[in-house]
Amino acid sequence: MEFQRIKGALVLNQWLGYFFLVHVFFAVSLGRIYVIAPDEVAYISTFNQVYTLPMSTVAQSESGWITAPTVFLWIVYFPAKVLNMTGVPDYLSVRILSILITSLSLYIFLNIQKGSQFASKFSKVITFAVFFIPSIFLWSSIGLRESFIIAELAVFMAGFNFLMKGRNRKGILLLFIGSYGLVSTKNYLWACLIVTLILCSIVFLIQGSKRRQMIIFIIAGFIAPLIAFAATTSPYALNFILHSNISEVGARSGDSITQVYVDSSGAESAKGSCSGSGRVSTSTKQLITFHGDSTMVALHCYITDNPEALFTKISKVIHLDRKIQSSWEGKVAQALANRDNSVGSDDSSLNEHILEPGKMARPWTLIWPAFIFLFGPFPFIGDPGIVTFISSLESPLWWVFYAIVIFQFVRFRRINFLQDPQIFFTLVFLAGEIAFSALIEVNLGTSFRHRSILLVPLLFLYVRLAQRAEEQKDLKQKSV
């Protein structure tokens, strides 16, 4: 038995090592290319400034870390800072940190499964596989916030799991770390988490079930992290949070506009070129406007301006450059044919890049935006552009993942899962996250990226249902 446990641990560590190395190879291969996620530049800028500026200075004002306490950033970026001081480039240091904490998230789920009779090899393969969904793989390999959010939610869920199993010290610590990290990273998602926490606690306190754990849950998951955040954040950040308005967020424009100069002279007019390449004559320049397709434009310009870059060479090997060039030429031709020199991405009701969010006062209006958030973009519908088309090919993987989680409910339908605080909490949080996204998502690309956060509650449900079934089985055996 001991030998089997050691062997299992070695195999697990080996697979985690492969997971880490594959991500690092991808991050290195990208090099200093930010066209896939332009926001990464701002996060790297925050990383470079946060250790050099006074603590009261908001070094993160241009990035998504706008409400994060400086002390929090000092702590979470410390491993990346150590790497950077040893000579690793700033962008790669931040990416390796993202990969490390994503590997931690994967380890947490595998650790919850460890020792379970219902956690077959197939279950562990599923856990590994969902982390290789292309968008999850991408966002966890670059320096955005998604990897932090995934890790914070995973740590919080693991803390709740430990608490319910009577391992209070570890549970309290993980609940606090996950909650404090999330409020520092994405406060509106934390608000959704806390509303769920309070609702779950009230339900189970009224039932008289696990009262001591529920009280600890409230203190460690809500009150203590809130106090710590208020004590460490800046007045600027607090003011920003307190004056945020969901209605205003949902009312903003979802249009992504990119303007470039192209060469419209002679027979090459449909091809064009980026104004930054230095090959456009001032006498033949035409300013065209892209509505949507910002990633396609950025990729075309990068490949045009950086012919010797590793990413460009890889794109040529897999013929991605041809696809991008073909899409570029078609869009430029359409723009030049229009009076206003502009071109849209797609007017399909399913794959249009501008989304219409629902309204809180009319709950039924959330149904369609939630459907788009969960299942879009849709493959082989309309002409959404090369990047959206590539993204749409991932959607069926999410549909399969949803089906696997639903099948897990069917498989363990007799375990009274609604009486389990962890499953009840995760279901309510998942519903709240989907509803919130239906209220605020106004751009298809952003919605596609934010869907990656669903990974944690969905995977936790998949893992916890099997764990709950085993606990119920053990109780029956003891009662016999």
pTM value surpassing 0.85: yes
User: Same domain, yes or no, for 426 and 317?
Assistant: no
Is the residue at 349 inside a domain?
Answer: no
Last residue of one domain, picked from the residues 201, 229, 249:
249
The span from the CA of 460 to the CA of 465, in Å, is 8
Whether 242 and 263 share a structural domain: no
264: left (phi over 0), alpha (psi -120 to 50) or beta: alpha
Domain assignment present for residue 476? The answer is yes
> Both 413 and 324 in a single domain?
no
163-171's contacts with Cβ under 8 Å and 24+ in sequence apart are 163/213, 163/216, 163/217, 163/220, 164/210, 164/213, 164/421, 164/422, 168/216, 171/216, 171/220
Q: Are residues 326 and 359 in the same domain?
A: no
Residue 284's pLDDT is 61
| 383 CB burial (10 A radius; 0-12, 13-18, 19+) | middle
Evaluate whether residue 3 is within a structural domain: no
Residues 420 and 277 reside in one and the same domain = no
Residues 194 and 274 in one domain: no
Question: What's the alpha-carbon Rg for the chain, to the nearest Å?
Answer: 24
Is 4 a member of any domain? no
Domain shared by 324 and 407, yes or no: no
452 lies in the same domain as 333: no
**Domain edge (last residue) among 249, 279, 312:** 249
> What is the secondary structure of 98-146 as a DSSP string?
HHHHHHHHHHHHHHHHTT-TT--HHHHHHHHHHTTSHHHHHHTTTTSSH
* CA pair distance 218, 199, nearest whole angstrom: 10
**420 in Cβ contact with 396 (< 8 Å):** no
- What is the mean pLDDT for each group of 10 consecutive residues in the chain (480 residues)? 53 83 92 85 90 68 82 94 96 96 94 70 87 94 94 97 92 97 92 95 87 94 94 76 59 69 54 46 70 81 84 85 85 83 70 81 89 91 79 94 94 84 96 92 83 95 89 71
Q: How many CA atoms lie within 13 A of 228 on its CB side?
A: 20
Residue 14: the pLDDT is 84
Same domain, 237 and 264: no
The reply to whether 133 and 189 lie within a common domain is yes
Where in the sequence is the domain holding 329, given as residue range(s)?
257-344
Show which of 249, 284, 304 is a domain's final residue.
249
Total tally of structural domains belonging to the chain: 3
Which run of H or E residues covers position 260? strand 257-263
Is 6 part of any domain?
no
Same domain, 173 and 294: no
In a domain, 194, yes or no: yes
Reduce the DSSP state of residue 34 to 3 states and report it.
coil
The answer to the question of residue 208 being in a domain is: yes
Q: Specify whether 71 is located in the same domain as 173.
A: yes
pLDDT at res. 15: 85
